[in-house]
Amino acid sequence: MTRAIPVYWPKPRLKPPLPTVSRHLDPDDKLLFHSEIEGVTPLDLERPEHWRHRPAPYPIDQPRDLTKEEKGHTLSEGEVETHAYLFFARPGVQQRVLADLQRGAIPRELELDLHGLTSAYAEQLCDEFLAVCKHRRIRCAQIIHGKGYGSQERQPVLKRKVNYWLRLHPEVLAFCSATPRDGGTGAVYLLLRNPEKGHRQRRR
């Protein structure tokens, strides 16, 4: 499935008119002026471009919706408990790396804000976001899901969904609630699989 993204070009800025000089100059002033500009090469003034051809919109490949079998999971949402502080780690992740993740010591390279979105749209954006992270070889990212105070049920709906969705993606090695300076329990840090590590292992 592709989505056409229109490209908008900014309107050209017109330069302000140059100040006019009276033609009735004193002969001495005219002689002085010509002596000062002797040997100077006139500049080619850039004229404003009134119309520019806009290129046609180009499609951007979007990740295909995967089935549960393709995602390789049998975990149901009811099996996942959502606490105030979120934490998840796959087996084999080093404790030192997890400690750095929880302290916010790993730089976040991308961020996704799901505030105010429906669950269906938020899940689609979450899948696309993780696909972009994989393509750009992102190691650590952040997702803002909110604390749920603005929902109709006054419950953290998106937080519960994100806690479930992220466990289904094999590219997500670990995630935890952010530090207070980055949103606290209204956001999560993501530790993603290192593509370079897998590449080195295959080369061996």
In this prediction, residue 191 carries a pLDDT of 97
Does residue 62 contact residue 1 with C-beta atoms inside 8 Å?
Answer: yes
* Model pTM above 0.85: no
Q: Is 101 within the bounds of a domain?
A: yes
Residue 71 lies in a domain: no
State the total domains in the chain.
1
The confidence score (pLDDT) of residue 181 equals 94
Q: For residue 65, is it within any domain?
A: no
CA distances from 83 to 16, 38, 52, 160 (A): 61, 80, 55, 9
Domain membership flag for residue 31: no
> Under 8 Å CB-to-CB from 130, ≥6 apart: which residues?
169, 171, 172, 192
pLDDT of residue 72: 47
In a structure prediction context, what are the per-residue pLDDT tens digits for the chain, which is 204 residues long? 445 544 445 555 555 655 555 556 677 777 887 778 777 777 665 665 555 566 666 555 555 555 554 454 567 777 788 889 999 999 999 999 999 999 999 999 999 999 889 999 999 999 999 999 999 999 999 999 988 765 555 568 899 999 999 999 999 999 999 999 999 999 999 999 986 665 444 455
Note whether residue 108 is domain-resident.
yes
Residue ranges making up the domain that contains 156? 87-203
